[in-house]
Amino acid sequence: MKKEIAVIGAGTMGNGIAHTFAQFGFKVFLIDANENQLQPAFETIAKNIDRQIKKGELTEVQKAEMLQNISLQTSINDNISNVELAIEAVSENLLVKEKVLKLLNTFLSENAIIASNTSSISITKLASYVSNPERFIGMHFMNPVPVMPLVEIISGYHTANSTLDTIKNITLQLNKTPLFSEDYPGFVANRILMPMINEAILTLQEGVANVESIDGIMKLGMNHPMGPLQLADFIGLDVCLAILNVLYQDFKNPKYAPSVLLVNMVAAGELGVKSGKGFYDYKSGIKNATVSAKFIKK
């Protein structure tokens, strides 16, 4: 296939996906309706490339080539009519995704593959918004995308084997490992991860231990590279809440019900790294967040 793709959504996941494809020689249209999101995303990509240069993974020449591979635009339009893969990486909101997918369906050729980076929403449901559901698939990247080696690939009810094979091959071209899931809520990664994060938040909420102890026990005792509370901050507490809500609604099982502390922190705007504060305070170095203490059982 042509090495030309479109990524819709210039947030944390979208800019990471664009970065990774550009690194491996793909021409990337990075699209976001919010013009104020695009330039910061481009600058983030440049900074992350600089980190790779310092580690000896890339050169300044490669940086220039990668940045030239990325084109920014604020709308889905005829510019992407020839791409053979479009990846939707907008917020974890069904209505937002529906709007984006219907627009993509209008401008892409009938041979194009559309992939969603959704972390929990049904691929079969999302495929119903396009005219060729056999060419629709889930392509769930992990954060940070340039670093994490996994792509969780999810087939919908109508996804063709040829689509699956193409996406598997593209994933390998990105020097990543494709692993596969059927279309069930949360797929594999978040069906297992989110209940663990939620249980860690409940452990804090109930006063069993403080933030440092919970994260430290999981890191030192279970060999996790990052504690579940810090990981939640990194993912975004709003994203964690959205995924848990999908799991709870789809499985109708109380074990997936999001904790009150998580709900309240999101309502208070404490979303983790993206807002500067979550379970840790990122404005003045990593330390315990204090605002949430009022919700913790004494």
Question: 2 vs 296, which has greater pLDDT?
Answer: 2
In the listed set 181, 213, 230, which residue is the last one of a domain according to the structure? Answer: 181
Assess whether 24 and 143 both reside in one domain: yes
Domain boundary residue among 123, 157, 181? 181
The answer on pLDDT for 109 being more than 60 is yes
Regarding whether 62 and 126 lie in a shared domain, the answer is yes
Say whether both 34 and 118 belong to one domain: yes
Same domain, 158 and 218: no
- 257 shares a domain with 215: yes
> The CATH number of the domain where 53 resides is what?
3.40.50.720
Are 136 and 248 members of one domain?
no
Kindly state the percentage of the chain with pLDDT values over 70. Answer: 94
Give the pLDDT band (50/70/90) at residue 296.
low
Q: For residue 226, give the CATH number of its domain.
A: 1.10.1040.10
**Same domain? 87 vs 194:** no
298: pLDDT confidence band, cut at 50, 70 and 90? low
Same domain, 207 and 270: yes
Q: How many beta carbons lie within 10 A of that of residue 203, not counting itself?
A: 18
Domain boundaries, position 118 = 4-181
Same domain, 31 and 168: yes
Lowest-confidence segment of 33-42, 133-142, 270-279, 282-291 by average pLDDT? 282-291
* Domains held by the chain: number: 2
Q: What is the pLDDT of residues 125-181, one digit of tens each?
A: 999 999 999 999 999 999 999 999 999 999 999 999 999 999 999 999 999 999 999
Tell me the average pLDDT of the chain.
Answer: 94
Clarify whether residues 165 and 207 are in a common domain. Answer: no
pLDDT tens by residue, 68-96: 999 999 999 999 999 999 999 999 999 99
Indicate whether 39 pLDDT > 70: yes
Catalytic residue numbers? 119, 140, 152, 190
Confidence of residue 193 (pLDDT cuts 50, 70, 90): very high
User: Given 134, 158, 181, which residue is the final one in a domain?
Assistant: 181
- Long-range CB contacts (within 8 A, 24+) of 242-249: 242/91, 242/92, 242/93, 242/120, 243/92, 243/119, 243/120, 243/186, 243/190, 243/194, 244/194, 244/198, 246/92, 246/120, 246/121, 246/185, 246/186, 247/120, 247/185, 247/186, 247/190, 247/191, 247/194, 247/195
Q: How does pLDDT run across 48-73, given as a tens digit for each residue?
A: 999 999 999 999 999 999 999 999 99
Same domain for 236 and 212, yes or no, is: yes
Residues 11 and 151 in one domain: yes
